[in-house]
Structure 1
Amino acid sequence: MDLGLNGRTVIVTGASGGIGRALTRAFAAEGADLVLTYHGRREEAERLAKEVEAGGGRALATRYDMADPQAAAALTEAVLEWSGRIDVLVNNAVVWGDDAPVPAHRFEDVPEELWTRTVNVNIEGAVRLSRQVAPVLRRQRWGRLVHLSSTLVSDGAAGSEYYAAAKAALHGFSRSAAFSLGADGDILSNVVMLGLTRTDTNAEITEQHGHIYSARAPIGRLLEAAEVAGPIVYLASAANTGITGQVVTVSGGS
């Protein structure tokens, strides 16, 4: 199936992480021009960009700090200078809040500066970049926003209160944004809610907790990063003509 992504410019935030790498490779296979953002893993992002270029594609690796209020505008300007267009934004980058020095089950003991950072950065980072990209999509009368979320929003887990709260807020933003953007062209906004997914960067987590999620899943296993990339790329493509304002769960059925 031709997904209609050849020559389109796709921003993948957090591209140096496990899901981000799989997304980059999947979009590159469709002929998209890739903007790969990273926060601290510059070498990984640049290596990935070279991999895309070695395969005949175009890629730009650039730093993006979700916590910086000026970063979204700077990133958008840099992408337009590099490509002249923006067609797809995949909000994949996250701040986990794992540095809270308290037991996971005592959410009320998380220091103020840590829980507010987890909530604020995860919401504001995705919303700021969406706000910057939206006028470009409206001018083109075409575009796709895909926001990555987690089944922690629906399933819950001790220690995930603030991260889940931020992702749940993103669901509400995407739903309403779909109505606003859809009034100005073929512009779609969706959330993909991922379960625990096996990547090349989370082996410790999947070894510790993977059996719990595998036992819940009808397929009896965790999904691989490449498997979740497929549905995300489809939602971000021209082949998707009618799915918008939705939360799509990609978790192996768990």
Structure 2
Amino acid sequence: MTENNAATTNSGRVAIVTGGSKGIGRAASARLGREGYSVVIGYGGSKDGAEQAAKDVEQAGGRAIAVQADVADETGVAALFDRAEQEFGGIDVVVNSAGIMPLAPLAELDLEVFDRIVRTNLRGTFVVDQQAVRRVRNGGAIVNISSSLTRLARPAYSAYAASKGGVEAITLILARELRGRDITVNAVAPGPTATSLFLDGKPQELIDRIAAEPPLERLGQASDIAEIIAFLAGPARWINGQVIYANGGSIA
């Protein structure tokens, strides 16, 4: 299928992407725009980044708006979904990409930071998925973002990996709760990916060492993950209730 034909096929489809102002969420938004989607860029604090992400979608061939919402606040998330329906007429795809990753050994992590990680990564996914279940049209898809760290088990990532383990549990159960509806629910679990979430605060020596670990000997790119998200959002109708580990071969 050519890009032009893909855009025509998907021109009526609407996606909400949380965490869409940067990183994987921004790349996924632009990739869906290339497929002809109308995209609602959900963002927490980066208005400028979200507005630029919306421009990326439009330049790729889709339509887009940016809407602020705290993913852990049910009222704000409901308003985000309301806006998508008002602007574009419905919702077909929800990509749950909002997340934070403060790092510290378990014994040293401030519990307030732990609560913030759980609030954004785990509660945020739960709240957004609740609205998605109620609003996504038949033929749609819910794509949650987990992490290969649930299996890589690196020191200092205990809180982050625990929150993402919860995301995987939500994903697998929700897929089964939607029996009888034509809606798929999957999670993508990236390995180390060259976004600010991974790169910020790490010395170059550590980044280089981690980049050399997979057989492909590089970090993932946000565009690598966006391709998988776009596949799960549209053509991958027979993939359901799965966690897709996207890490260049670091783990199976």
Q: Structure 1 length as normaliser, TM-score?
A: 0.88
Listed as ranges, the matches of 1:161-200 within 5 Å are 161-184=158-181, 186-199=182-195
Distance 1:202-1:180 versus aligned 2 partners, 3 A rule: closer
Contact in 1 for aligned 2:10/2:36 (Cα 8 Å): yes
- For residues 55-100 of structure 1, the C-alpha deviation after alignment (integer angstroms, 9 at most, x for no partner) is 54210101111232322111111111111100000000002235xx
Unaligned runs of 5+ in 2: none
Distance 1:189-1:74 versus aligned 2 partners, 3 A rule: same
Q: Equivalents in 2 of 1:196, 1:16: separation in Å?
A: 19
Contact in 1 for aligned 2:40/2:84 (Cα 8 Å): yes
Q: Equivalents in 2 of 1:9, 1:19: separation in Å?
A: 18
Listed as ranges, the matches of 1:202-217 within 5 Å are 203-204=199-200, 205=202, 207-217=204-214
Distance 1:202-1:122 versus aligned 2 partners, 3 A rule: closer
Q: Equivalents in 1 of 2:233, 2:165: separation in Å?
A: 20
- The equivalent position to 1:246 in structure 2, one of 239, 242, 246, is 242
Residue 115 of structure 1 aligns with which residue?
114
Residue 101 of structure 1 aligns with which residue?
none
Contact in 2 for aligned 1:16/1:45 (Cα 8 Å): yes
Contact in 1 for aligned 2:192/2:211 (Cα 8 Å): no
Residue 59 of structure 1 aligns with which residue?
64
Contact in 2 for aligned 1:97/1:114 (Cα 8 Å): yes
Listed as ranges, the matches of 1:74-89 within 5 Å are 74-89=79-94
Unaligned runs of 5+ in 1: 99-103
Q: Equivalents in 1 of 2:199, 2:211: separation in Å?
A: 15
- The equivalent position to 1:36 in structure 2, one of 35, 38, 41, is 41
Contact in 2 for aligned 1:18/1:202 (Cα 8 Å): no
Distance 1:224-1:51 versus aligned 2 partners, 3 A rule: closer
Listed as ranges, the matches of 1:216-227 within 5 Å are 216-227=213-224
Structure 1 letter corresponding to 2:141: R
How far the C-alpha of 1:54 sits from its partner, in A, is 4.2
Percent identity for Structure 1 against Structure 2: 34
Distance 1:116-1:199 versus aligned 2 partners, 3 A rule: closer
Q: Which moved more, 1:163-172 or 1:19-28?
A: 19-28
SS in 1 for 2:91: coil
Structure 2 letter corresponding to 1:44: G
- For residues 152-203 of structure 1, the C-alpha deviation after alignment (integer angstroms, 9 at most, x for no partner) is 111112221111111001111110111122322x210001000111237755
Q: Equivalents in 2 of 1:136, 1:38: separation in Å?
A: 19
Q: Which moved more, 1:66-75 or 1:175-184?
A: 66-75
Q: Equivalents in 1 of 2:92, 2:203: separation in Å?
A: 33
Q: Which moved more, 1:201-210 or 1:8-17?
A: 201-210
Structure 2 letter corresponding to 1:21: R
Residue 156 of structure 1 aligns with which residue?
153
Q: Structure 2 length as normaliser, TM-score?
A: 0.89
Residue 102 of structure 2 aligns with which residue?
97
Distance 1:55-1:92 versus aligned 2 partners, 3 A rule: closer
| Structure 2 residue 130 is matched with structure 1 residue 131 | yes
